[in-house]
Structure 1
Amino acid sequence: MPFLVFGLLLWVGAHIFKRVAPAQRDGLGASGKAIIAVLITAGLILIILGYRDSPFITVWTPPAFMVHINNLLMLIAVFVYGMSATTGRLRGKLRHPQLTAVKIWAVAHLLVNGDLASILLFGTMLGWAVSEVILINRAGPWERPAPGPAKKDIVLVVITLVMFGVITGIHTWLGVSPFPG
């Protein structure tokens, strides 16, 4: 589990650095972005390797029906994440669509994973997303973008369904079927 913990520390630290130390981050210039990107990537790799290699230590046993709630929340999370890129009517409805999607994703996975490594991973990601939103909101006001055409929202729905299919396919391929058999 040390790789998982170290990866989470790298991920959170690299992401929050520019929020808690903006002057130092700005002082790094363009090369600072590359350093942060490398730290985030290294963190992600360590998270994946650490999570895969962590022992399964049961903390609680989720009820079977939580799988359905997880799947619904994941569909919503994919849609909300996509709102960050939409140019449709939904544009600007949420200030932090990507971070909101991470929060939904984390809660959904906490509902169906009762082992220590999962609680550590998804709980940390939930805490990070909440912290980021608080830090960003404290940094200043938000200028809401103007909404675009409704047809772009239909495209978002189609992309959401396709991406949800891809994500569930990858989970199934990895041996973690998101659908009860």
Structure 2
Amino acid sequence: MLPVLPFDLRIDRMVLLTLGVLLFAGVHFIPSLAPALKTRGLNRLGENGYKGVFSLLLLIAFALMIVGWRSVEPRLWYQPPPGLHNIALGLLVVAFWLLVVSARNSRWRLLVRHPQLTGVALWGFSHLLLNGDNRSTVLFGGMLLWSVAEIAAINRREGVWIKAAPPGWGAEAVTALIAVVTVAVVVYLHPWLSGMPVW
């Protein structure tokens, strides 16, 4: 028989989710808020070593978020505004469109300086419009706050926004097609990934 300890070694599952969000945000803040730390890491580990550690920390963050999300019992923290379901779904479509745009040269980049971070912000905000439970508030609220803070930090570091030349309409059409397919795949996999249907 195992000895009875005077304290509980079990970690609260909400703590796992929170640690995952904080680790994800902290790792991404290093280049924008602590460039000297990034430089020291590159000097000591080399580019490949630094990227390896960076990727490992992100994998740990994702694992913490996934385990925390799946193990936390949802409890209502606030009542989402009524009648905003379709608006939130529309924002989600725009969010994933921007995530695709962030990986390609697109005319949307002439309108949105940080499409990836803006997409994450819309993703988080739209989920907060749909869900008022504890785990949603921590995950999506945390990602929303991180993305907005990251945008502000990068803008301060980089200064003036220098826009690239727009691509041709053929390339833009390919980007649109990829975005549509991405949204369809996310909708299809959403029940398996989160345990909740989109509609």
Give TM-score, length-normalised by structure 2.
0.84
**Where do 1:91-102 residues align within 5 Å?**
91-102=109-120
**Where do 1:42-81 residues align within 5 Å?**
42-62=60-80, 65-81=83-99
Contact 2:91–2:122 (8 Å) recurs in 1: yes
1:129 corresponds to: 147
Contact 1:56–1:115 (8 Å) recurs in 2: yes
Structure 1 unaligned runs (5+)?
none
Distance in 2 between the 1:157 and 1:134 partners?
A: 28
2:24 corresponds to: 11
Distance in 1 between the 2:106 and 2:146 partners?
A: 28
Distance in 2 between the 1:160 and 1:51 partners?
A: 26
**Which structure's CA Rg is the greater one?**
2
Structure 1 counterpart SS, 2:107: coil
Distance in 2 between the 1:16 and 1:70 partners?
A: 28
Q: Which moved more, 1:106-115 or 1:86-95?
A: 86-95
Q: Summarize the Cα distance change of 1:18–1:43 in structure 2 as closer, same or farther, 3 Å threshold.
A: same
**Where do 1:110-129 residues align within 5 Å?**
110-129=128-147
Q: CA RMSD in A?
A: 1.6
Q: Summarize the Cα distance change of 1:177–1:28 in structure 2 as closer, same or farther, 3 Å threshold.
A: same
% identical equivalent positions: 35
CA deviations on 1:110-165 (whole Å, 9 max, x unpaired) are 01111011101111100000110011011023321111101222222221111111
Distance in 2 between the 1:173 and 1:64 partners?
A: 26
2:41 corresponds to: 28
Structure 2 counterpart SS, 1:87: coil
Contact 1:100–1:129 (8 Å) recurs in 2: yes
Give how far 1:90 is off: 3.1
Give TM-score, length-normalised by structure 1.
0.91
Give how far 1:59 is off: 1.3
Contact 1:3–1:47 (8 Å) recurs in 2: yes
Distance in 1 between the 2:163 and 2:190 partners?
A: 35
Distance in 2 between the 1:139 and 1:44 partners?
A: 27
Structure 1 counterpart SS, 2:88: helix
Contact 1:7–1:46 (8 Å) recurs in 2: yes
1:84 corresponds to: 102
Contact 2:80–2:128 (8 Å) recurs in 1: no
Distance in 2 between the 1:94 and 1:157 partners?
A: 16
Matched, 1:143 2:156: no
1:163 corresponds to: 182
Contact 1:89–1:152 (8 Å) recurs in 2: no
